[in-house]
Structure formats: C-alpha cells, structure tokens
C-alpha cells in the first residue's frame, strides 16, 4: 500500500504549559498514569475483535511516545513469563520502554498483584489510563477494582482487544456501566495537551505527524 506523506504542522509561538480544564472534566497530562497490561505475543495471537493486532500495536506505541514526551509515568505488566507460560512483552512495544521495569505476575487480575498495585500508588496519580489484552479479562478486572478503590479510570477502546467481538464489546459495556471513561487513541492524545500553543503541543507535534503517517499503512482490521 502506498503511504501518502503527511504535511508537517507549523510551529506555534507558544510554550506555556497546558492548564487543567475549568470543570476538571477533561483530563490533563500532569494528572495521569498509563497502565499497559499483557501486550504479549500469546495475547496478540488471539485478538479477534474490531481493531486488529497490528493497529493495536501501533496505537500502544503511539501512546507510549505520548507518555514519554509528557513525562507521564508508565507501568508495564506481563502475566506468566516467570512461570514459563507466556513470552515477554511484544518486542516492538518493549523497544519503546527500554528502561521500564516489567512487573510479571500470575494473577489474571493485575490489581491483585501487590507489586503492580504498589507501583500505581507510588505515582500518586488518581486518574489512570488503562490498556490491556484481553479486554474481557485483563482490562476489565483491574479497571473495576480501581474504580471501587476510588480511582478515576479511562480505557482506550482502539488500543485493546478481545478473543471475540462479542467478548470485547460486552467488556467495554461492563466497564462503561461501572463508571470507567471510554476514549480512543488519537482523541486521548489531544486531550492531554488541547492547545496548539502549549509547550506540550510542541513536544507532541512530531509524534502526531509520525502516527498519522503510519495510519495510512494500516486498515482497522490489520
């Protein structure tokens, strides 16, 4: 597939850090942590929901670059690696987080893992952005637990996937009914800076250009 070059954004004269929204309803870059759970080969191989594995991989890599540019803490977890059941984080994703400690666990519910839970508390962030494979298990369980513990939680619907479309859609409905906030990858990235004159926008422009260019090479089901 031919990839059409993306136009570059014009540099803005800005530089002031983006402030929080007046109603505190739209999330700001300095109040969140990004949780990435079980982006491993074994999970990618069994994704059969509307956003395909290659697009999910791209979306997660983009979110990591956004987080790194905005100094958002990232917590990375795997399941069953030390037990010899699963392999490590997919190499394309791990390459974006070379210095991040991976928290491996045995529980399907990451919230029940002491090391994972403590890592979240250390960030002192009460707003969590959570992405995981699969939607119906490793995303649903910790999100519901976090909500009960008083955290605000957002999930990124096109950066997660399930073993079937029905399982994926049912889990997303369960999360929304429980009070979690649905979002999508590109919308989330813009929510975290919002003003093209902000210093955050200056950092994100090249990342956005890269991502939008990459999207031309992917179909939603890829």
Give the domain CATH number at 93.
Answer: 3.40.50.850
| Structural domain span for residue 62 | 30-215
Q: Is residue 158 part of a domain?
A: yes
Q: What is the pLDDT of residue 81?
A: 97
Give the range among 15-19, 49-53, 112-116, 215-219 with minimum mean pLDDT.
15-19
Q: Whole-model pTM?
A: 0.91
Active site residues: 138
Q: 222: pLDDT confidence band, cut at 50, 70 and 90?
A: low
Which of 65, 16, 24, 11 lies closest to 195, judged by CA? 16
Q: Which residues contact 27 (CB under 8 A, 6 or more apart)?
A: 127, 154, 191, 192
Which of 90, 106, 2, 3 lies closest to 53, judged by CA? 90
Q: Is residue 100 part of a domain?
A: yes
- Residue 166 neighbours by CB distance under 10 Å: 12
Q: Is residue 47 part of a domain?
A: yes
Q: How many domains does the chain have?
A: 1
Q: Is residue 51 part of a domain?
A: yes
Which position has the token pair 């570059």? 8
Q: What is the pLDDT of residue 220?
A: 61
Q: Is residue 25 part of a domain?
A: no
d(CA 189, CA 169) in angstroms, rounded, equals: 23
- Residue 141 neighbours by CB distance under 10 Å: 19
**Could you give the strand order of the β-sheet that contains 74-79, starting from the edge strand earlier in sequence?**
102-105, 74-79, 32-37, 127-132, 152-156, 181-183
d(CA 195, CA 207) in angstroms, rounded, equals: 16
Q: Is residue 19 part of a domain?
A: no
Q: 19: pLDDT confidence band, cut at 50, 70 and 90?
A: confident
Strands 74-79 and 152-156: unpaired
- Quote the strand ranges of the chain, DSSP E: 32-37, 74-79, 102-105, 127-132, 152-156, 181-183
């Amino acid at each position: 597939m031919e990839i059409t070059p993306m136009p570059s954004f014009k540099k803005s004269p800005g530089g002031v850090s983006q402030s929080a929204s007046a109603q505190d309803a739209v999330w700001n870059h300095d109040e969140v942590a990004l949780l990435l759970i079980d982006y491993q080969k074994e999970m990618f191989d069994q994704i059969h929901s509307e956003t395909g594995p290659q697009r999910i991989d791209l979306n997660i890599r983009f979110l990591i670059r956004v987080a790194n540019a905005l100094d958002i803490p990232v917590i990375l977890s795997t399941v069953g690696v030390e037990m010899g059941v699963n392999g490590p984080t997919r190499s394309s994703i791990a390459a974006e987080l070379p210095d991040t400690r991976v928290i491996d666990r045995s529980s399907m519910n990451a919230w029940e893992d002491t090391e994972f839970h403590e890592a979240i508390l250390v960030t002192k962030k009460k707003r969590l952005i959570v992405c995981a494979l699969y939607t119906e298990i490793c995303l649903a369980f910790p999100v519901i637990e976090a909500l009960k513990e008083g955290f605000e939680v957002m999930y990124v619907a096109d950066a997660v996937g399930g073993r079937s479309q029905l399982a994926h859609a049912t889990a997303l409905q369960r999360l929304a009914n429980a009070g979690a906030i649905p979002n999508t990858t590109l919308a989330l990235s813009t929510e975290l800076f919002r003003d093209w004159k902000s210093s955050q926008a200056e950092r994100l422009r090249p990342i956005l250009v890269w991502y939008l260019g990459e999207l031309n090479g992917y179909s939603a089901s890829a």
